[in-house]
Structure 1
Amino acid sequence: MIDSINSQAGQTPESSSRLATVVQVLPAMVTGGVERGTVEMAEAIVNAGGRAIVVSAGGPMVHELTRVGAEHIEMPVDSKNFFMMRKNATRLAKLIQQEGVDLIHARSRAPAWSSYWASKWTNTPFVTTFHGTYGHGNPLKRWYNSVMTRGERVIAISSFIAGHMRKIYGVRRELIRVIHRGVDLFRFDPEKVTAERLVKLSTQWNIPDGVPVVALPGRLTRWKGQLVFIDAIAKLGRRDICCLLIGSDQGRTDYRKELVKRIKKHNLEGVITIVDECNDMPTAYMLSDIVVSASTDPEAFGRVVCEAQAMGRPVVATDHGGARETVIEDETGWLCKPGDVESMATAIGKGLDLSAEKREKMAQQAISHIREGFSKDAMCSKTLEVYNEVLSLGN
């Protein structure tokens, strides 16, 4: 009989029981929310007295796993080829048997199918995290996606996603555990951003002194709503502001050209700047007076909205998806109609017109809101509880 993972770091399991070994499986360890959450959970497992193994096709974030005491095993689980997925299932089953794996946690569809088959073959508890809505326009796609609902417990990263699973896939309510993604409050702490960091990034981006800054962080892809944002700034009619589109085009050069063209169309070259990817987002938020999430499709959670609030910044977000659960209207920010230029312009205008007193009050409300409900520690603790719940089912 195994010992469950302790819910608090530093606790010592019974000497007669061995520690639980948890394997997380995802396509690759590249930059992204899923990958960041994987590292955070690996660290939580280790700190709680368990053994953390991550299986992926590799990537630049593998070294972060090593840093937190986790083990990484490279496997081509990013492949969507059916025969490769079955081969990966055999490899995972062998890994489970050789390493004494107690639970397998899948975070993406192709790796989840391999993990699901391996779990069945070895009678190993299986947990999934449903990270997005995924395309579900035809029965084949819905079947392919359905593996993310086959865990003995299914973690939804927002109530919005939980509702989506129930509606589209008929997942029973009692199998779902809503665990919002968490903000690293050690990293996203206004007190930790130094003047030197502010000056460095401000100089790099050529931000004029004394000018309000409106930022839209997010990779350059159409559904993130950069075009709506540009049109909203044009509608606002103010040129005494500095607007930043923070994000890489990730090879979408045509869309980037379209954004540049739209900026020129509105004669906003001196107002809106594309500044590419940023490696110091806490400082980017601190440089901003307002942070915008303009997504035209619902965000499954909306990491930017929460990170910005953690840094005490008022936010403007579109009124759907996870933002409805993380923004308190007129207390920490404002929600606007998705894809609606006038609604977004009005919301941004409210943020720009805040008095110093109101801005400070909103900052404190936003910081408290995120610290109380959306921390990384809370996310990890609740996920460990799910692991222990599933591990106890076999006892």
Structure 2
Amino acid sequence: MNNLGSEHNTPLPASERHHPTVLQILPSLNGGGVERGTIEMASALKEKGWVPIVVSSGGVMEQELKRMGVRHITLPVASKNPWIMRRNVGRLAQIVTEFDVDIIHARSRAPAWSAYATARKTRKHFVTTFHAAYTRGGLLKNYYNSVMLKGEKVIAISEFIAAHILENYNIDPGKIVTIPRGVDCRKFNPAAINAERVIKIARDWSLPDDIPVVMLPGRLTRLKGHTTFIEALARLEHRNFLALMVGSTEGREAYTAELNSLIQQRGLEGKVQIKGHCDDMAGALMLSDVVVSATTVPEGFGRIAVEAQAMGRPVIATAHGGSMETIIDGETGWLVPVGDIDAMSAALAAALDMPVEAREAVAVQAREHVMSKYAIEKMCASTIGVYESLLADSD
């Protein structure tokens, strides 16, 4: 008998057997936008009275599903090994049958291939979400990407991604549904953050008082543009600030050392600090005066910029990808050309020089902007609407 994880062996409660069941599948649950969106949708489905199931290779975010009472099944779906992917099809088909799954929703390419074959085998609805502008290459690479087009509906997480799909793939435009990513405006809400949380983070990070804080959140990878950020800060020679790069450094020791060396070379020791992973980003953002997204490649959505605006923080972001939609240039933040150190430095100076009244006005506008367009409730309701349309067509 296949080992499908201990959760799989738990009988489905009678109360769940006659409600629509949605199986979301993704590589892992170790943090990130795809993972967060999956958990948010699982919560919304459960709240609606539907049955959510999540399949992944596991990770630290499993505990969130457990706390919500959402079933997680561990399978090696992160693997790109063709034999493992093929073996996953039989295991997934068993899950679909046992739990009477109605819709399979794939959120990444490797698991999508197994999920697509399972959907065809079991005659279940298949939905995909395009989370990024996947790199194109030769025939093999493009074929690998093409599985994300095989959903009955293909969800694009931004207008940028929708345009990317239409420009690069042969697809019926009617299959594409643009549903922007959402942010939890209850969690990312200045009014919800008590002083104790902020004080704890400030103490843990040994932050001084009364110094403007510039924050660049995101895991430490070259694509996040840390070097451009450091070079831009180096041009603010006589300004008083503390810049924090907040994100996981695990497995990136060489890059971390490279950044620390650059910080030293530019005379920014102490003024620019790497703080590593933070479990309370809403609380951390409360410590910031301006938030930066310096990505060197276009992001499908750009969650950090939206979370920062939800917290009423002005944002400086590189002018490409989802940021072109989520930031109102000159009103809720600044958009600067990719890799343009001078432009980023000028935007940082403008942000740090904002008078209190202007900063307060930006805070109100930025939060209203996010709540009207990118609230998590809107994302979840629109996605459930896609599910409902598929189920209605099969009645």
Using structure 1 for the length normalisation, give the TM-score.
0.94
Secondary structure in 1 matching 2:276:
coil
Partner of residue 242, structure 1: 242
C-alpha separation in 2, matches of 1:74 and 1:273 = 37
Aligned pairs for 1:308-347 (under 5 A) are 308-347=308-347
Q: Following TM superposition, by how much is the alpha carbon of 1:104 offset from its aligned partner in structure 2, in angstroms? A: 0.4
Partner of residue 255, structure 2: 255
C-alpha separation in 2, matches of 1:227 and 1:137 = 27
Return the letter of the residue paired with 2:36: R
Q: Following TM superposition, by how much is the alpha carbon of 1:283 offset from its aligned partner in structure 2, in angstroms? A: 1.5
Partner of residue 85, structure 2: 85
Q: Following TM superposition, by how much is the alpha carbon of 1:207 offset from its aligned partner in structure 2, in angstroms? A: 2.0
Q: Following TM superposition, by how much is the alpha carbon of 1:394 offset from its aligned partner in structure 2, in angstroms? A: 1.7
C-alpha separation in 1, matches of 2:150 and 2:266 = 49
Q: Following TM superposition, by how much is the alpha carbon of 1:57 offset from its aligned partner in structure 2, in angstroms? A: 1.4
Partner of residue 108, structure 2: 108
Partner of residue 205, structure 1: 205
Secondary structure in 1 matching 2:291:
strand
C-alpha separation in 2, matches of 1:172 and 1:256 = 44
Secondary structure in 1 matching 2:187:
coil
Partner of residue 69, structure 2: 69
Q: Following TM superposition, by how much is the alpha carbon of 1:270 offset from its aligned partner in structure 2, in angstroms? A: 2.3
Q: Following TM superposition, by how much is the alpha carbon of 1:265 offset from its aligned partner in structure 2, in angstroms? A: 0.8
Partner of residue 358, structure 1: 358
C-alpha separation in 2, matches of 1:217 and 1:134 = 23
Aligned pairs for 1:1-395 (under 5 A) are 18-395=18-395
Deviations 1:342-374 (A, max 9, x none): 111111111111111111000000010011110
C-alpha separation in 1, matches of 2:184 and 2:20 = 25
Q: Following TM superposition, by how much is the alpha carbon of 1:69 offset from its aligned partner in structure 2, in angstroms? A: 2.6
C-alpha separation in 2, matches of 1:207 and 1:318 = 27
Query: What's the % identity of the aligned pairs?
Result: 50
Secondary structure in 2 matching 1:126:
strand
Moved more, 220-229 or 160-169: 160-169
Partner of residue 8, structure 1: none
Return the letter of the residue paired with 2:357: E
C-alpha separation in 2, matches of 1:38 and 1:63 = 13
C-alpha separation in 1, matches of 2:19 and 2:197 = 42
C-alpha separation in 2, matches of 1:134 and 1:258 = 27
Deviations 1:281-333 (A, max 9, x none): 11111110000000011011101000000000000000000000100111110
Moved more, 201-210 or 328-337: 201-210
Q: Following TM superposition, by how much is the alpha carbon of 1:383 offset from its aligned partner in structure 2, in angstroms? A: 0.5
Q: Following TM superposition, by how much is the alpha carbon of 1:236 offset from its aligned partner in structure 2, in angstroms? A: 2.5
Structure 1's unaligned 5+ residue stretches are 1-14
Return the letter of the residue paired with 1:248: S
Q: Is the 8 A contact 1:239 1:271 kept in 2?
A: no
C-alpha separation in 1, matches of 2:45 and 2:259 = 43
Q: Aligned residues, how many?
A: 380
Deviations 1:223-275 (A, max 9, x none): 10000000000122234111111111221111111101110111000210111
Return the letter of the residue paired with 1:199: I
Partner of residue 9, structure 1: none
Partner of residue 3, structure 2: none
Secondary structure in 2 matching 1:243:
strand
Secondary structure in 2 matching 1:328:
coil
Return the letter of the residue paired with 1:130: F
Q: Is the 8 A contact 1:129 1:154 kept in 2?
A: yes
Q: Following TM superposition, by how much is the alpha carbon of 1:206 offset from its aligned partner in structure 2, in angstroms? A: 2.2
Return the letter of the residue paired with 2:246: I
Secondary structure in 1 matching 2:273:
strand
Return the letter of the residue paired with 1:155: I
Structure 2's unaligned 5+ residue stretches are 1-14
Q: Following TM superposition, by how much is the alpha carbon of 1:171 offset from its aligned partner in structure 2, in angstroms? A: 2.5
Return the letter of the residue paired with 2:337: K
Partner of residue 3, structure 1: none
C-alpha separation in 1, matches of 2:209 and 2:18 = 59
Change (3 A) 1:318 1:85: same
Partner of residue 6, structure 1: none
C-alpha separation in 1, matches of 2:63 and 2:280 = 19
Q: Is the 8 A contact 1:109 1:145 kept in 2?
A: yes
Moved more, 44-53 or 90-99: 90-99
Q: Following TM superposition, by how much is the alpha carbon of 1:56 offset from its aligned partner in structure 2, in angstroms? A: 1.2
C-alpha separation in 2, matches of 1:161 and 1:91 = 31
